[in-house]
Amino acid sequence: VADDGYRLWLKYDRIQDAGLRKDYQKAAGFIASSGSSPILTTAATELQQGLEGLLGQKPPLVAPGSKTKGGILLSVDATANVSAGRTLGKDGYHIGRKNGSLVITGTTDAGVLYGVFALLRQLQTRQPLQNIDLTSSPKIQYRLLNHWDNPNGTVERGYAGSSIWKWYELPEHLDPRYQDYARANASIGINGVVINNVNASARYLTPEYIEKVAALAGVMRPYGIRVYMSVLWAAPKVIGGLSTSDPLDPKVKQWWTDRTNEIYRAIPDFGGFLVKANSEGEPGPQDYGRDHADGANMLADALGQHDGLVMWRAFVYKANSNGDRFKEAYQEFKPLDGRFKPKTLVQVKNGPIDFQSREPFHPLFGAMPRTPLVLEVQLTQEYLGFATHMVYLAPMFKETLDADTYAKGQGSTVAKVVDGSVDKHSVSGIAGVANIGSDRNWTGHPMGQANWYAFGRLAWDHTLSAQAIAEEWTRMSLTNEAPAVRTIADVLVKSRDIYVRYTTPLGLHHIMGQSIHYGPEPWLASSARPDWTSVYYHKADAAGLGFDRTAKGSNALGLYRPEVQQLWNDPQTCPPDYLLWFHHVGWNQQLSTGRTLWNELCTRYYTGVDSVTWMQQQWAAVQPQVDPELHADVTSRLQTQHKEALWWRDACVLYFQTHAKQPIPAPFAPPT
């Protein structure tokens, strides 16, 4: 089957190895399901279709109990416990063997669906089924994609075409793509979708749009996915005819309560609201002298008895701040800990600035024990080369998830803060800003699909390794030939570090082109606001480079626990990858790598570009194992990546040289 990327990782192409196919066929003679709810029907149908594709024969759906041996049984058991010490959580599943059949048990209907996809994954990656005994439960409860899609079809920071939602066709016409989208999400455990941009239009709260959103919810529901909305804080004024949107005003409260009830009448399983308020010019409760908690709590009250959440974003920073933007969200939100009502979660980006290619973890993680925090990561590559650079993001997500906050002693990782285990929260969430658009292959860059996939897998189980996910995705999406799988996974896993080297090595950040956020612009010195320039962040001068965030400087480091401070406080021992985040380092200062700062900087930029050449070579080597169309697509994008890596290197090295006033070191110096 020619591969245009549309089928993502859900390729059910015939398994070529006849012996293996036979083994699988023996195990999959029929499917019997214990129920016929919409989600269980989805599960049985997906399994049947998947097996038909992979094995070339369609197992019949039979009544439960009519056959016992040699088939697959789907069953729901809310209290299923696999064995001592191996309990299943909500939406968890177990796949095992019983009386000569495979049994997929879920604690909920959705658990069965996830189990079905897990079983198909076993076949897609050619794993044996003989002694299968798989137990898995999601570690994080709410696993959401956030779409930054606008009503006019554009996508903020989207690089894969326009929005997949065709608002003008809804609610009557349902593009079949919505269902494929839901399948893909369900297959990796995503159970919620915020359908619109955080810079929200008020239109979504009108009857006209509620009806459209309800139609989408209808497509998502059989896949265990709930829809959510981003809301504009000023909506009561913009569409409600009120003179205020003060959260403490009774008319405003009533307006939100009425809107919420109206939404739930149309969408009984509506997920809730995402709010960007008093951030980057968006309206918010502070416009009325109220704070974020006042705003979030008012919406929680509006939700009342409905089973929905408020996710309130902590991505805030003030215009013309003279301090350090790094500290602002912490300063605004930390004092509010304990004030948020139970249905309210605070959504925090992985790092303190804005989705840079490497950031230290956000200091709010571990600092708000009384508030469940949603981790927000970005799948769309706003600062990581759009859809032209191959950058596999799982290593970056893992770097944040595995970072130790020391909030309750060693091992209080960001992952454990987010999954609720550190502070014993019963609600937990994670959000990925989607990289999905109308492009035939969904993500523009074919390898961008791996980031969507990896997000879902890590949201489900943050202990999985970036390497294992890369191999799994490669097997399902590109090839099952072991040497090629190894080569591709290796390139993927190294790609993010390579990107960092040729763009922002050693902890440099926010030196990209203004507004567009593409390409280098380290010389940018003036903009609408100081913290939208490059020089604000890199602070290059005759003496050296980097932002001093120690006690001598902005003391942003002081926001972290002493153990974390200790890690980053001393420029001699601070890992080079984080160095310029926290220190202004002399050009001639010797780093732990044995080179001076200037030489190390040049070395990273130059070897970073060389590594892109290496990526090109590795990709060329797997050509026989990969679909020709897809291979050629990635090859051409790698050419652009190489050209732009040179652009980044030369722009940055030459610019910083105007401060360092030193020659480019010998191995890299251009011929004179």
Residues within the interface to ligand GCU (CB under 6 A):
156-157, 198-199, 276, 315, 354, 382
Cβ–Cβ < 8 Å for 263, 303: no
- What is the Cα–Cα distance from 373 to 413, expressed in whole angstroms? 13
HEC-encoded secondary structure of 316-378? CCCCCCCCCHHHHHHHHHHHHCCCCCCCEEEEEECCCCCCCCCCCCCCCCCCCCCCCEEEEEE
- What is the Cα–Cα distance from 504 to 496, expressed in whole angstroms? 11
**Shortest Cβ distance from residue 176 to ligand GCU (Å)?**
30
- What is the Cα–Cα distance from 361 to 403, expressed in whole angstroms? 7
133 is catalytic: no
**Shortest Cβ distance from residue 197 to ligand GCU (Å)?**
7
- What is the Cα–Cα distance from 90 to 534, expressed in whole angstroms? 46
Positive or negative, the CA dihedral 347, 350, 352, 354 is: negative
Backbone angles phi, psi at 313, to 5 degrees: -80, 145
- What is the Cα–Cα distance from 398 to 463, expressed in whole angstroms? 9
Find the catalytic residue in 328, 382, 439, 472.
382
439 is catalytic: no
Of the candidates 8, 83, 3, 72, the residue with the CA atom closest to the CA atom of residue 40: 72
Cβ–Cβ < 8 Å for 45, 75: no
Angstrom distances, CA of residue 434 to CA of 439, 471, 482, 508: 13, 22, 30, 25
Q: Which is nearer to ligand GCU, 219 or 434 (CB)?
A: 434
**Shortest Cβ distance from residue 86 to ligand GCU (Å)?**
39
Q: Which is nearer to ligand GCU, 108 or 534 (CB)?
A: 534
Angstrom distances, CA of residue 289 to CA of 157, 295, 300, 336, 598: 31, 11, 19, 15, 48
**Shortest Cβ distance from residue 280 to ligand GCU (Å)?**
6
Q: Which is nearer to ligand GCU, 382 or 399 (CB)?
A: 382
**Shortest Cβ distance from residue 382 to ligand GCU (Å)?**
6
Q: Which is nearer to ligand GCU, 207 or 513 (CB)?
A: 513
**Shortest Cβ distance from residue 274 to ligand GCU (Å)?**
10
Q: Which is nearer to ligand GCU, 167 or 355 (CB)?
A: 355
Q: Which is nearer to ligand GCU, 138 or 432 (CB)?
A: 432
Find the catalytic residue in 280, 563, 570, 629.
280
**Shortest Cβ distance from residue 319 to ligand GCU (Å)?**
13
Tokens linked to 572: 């001699």
Find the catalytic residue in 46, 246, 328, 354.
354
Tokens linked to 284: 């918010």
Q: Which is nearer to ligand GCU, 187 or 380 (CB)?
A: 380
548 is catalytic: no
Angstrom distances, CA of residue 469 to CA of 125, 127, 269, 385, 485: 12, 15, 31, 22, 11
Cβ–Cβ < 8 Å for 290, 259: no
- What is the Cα–Cα distance from 418 to 138, expressed in whole angstroms? 13
- What is the Cα–Cα distance from 621 to 49, expressed in whole angstroms? 33
The H-assigned helical ranges of 507-596 are: 535-538, 562-568, 579-582
**Computed over its alpha carbons, how large is the radius of gyration of the chain?**
26
Q: Which is nearer to ligand GCU, 224 or 429 (CB)?
A: 429
Cβ–Cβ < 8 Å for 87, 79: no
**Shortest Cβ distance from residue 311 to ligand GCU (Å)?**
13
Residue 42's H or E segment, with its range, is: helix 38-55
Q: Which is nearer to ligand GCU, 55 or 311 (CB)?
A: 311
Annotated active-site positions, please?
280, 354, 382
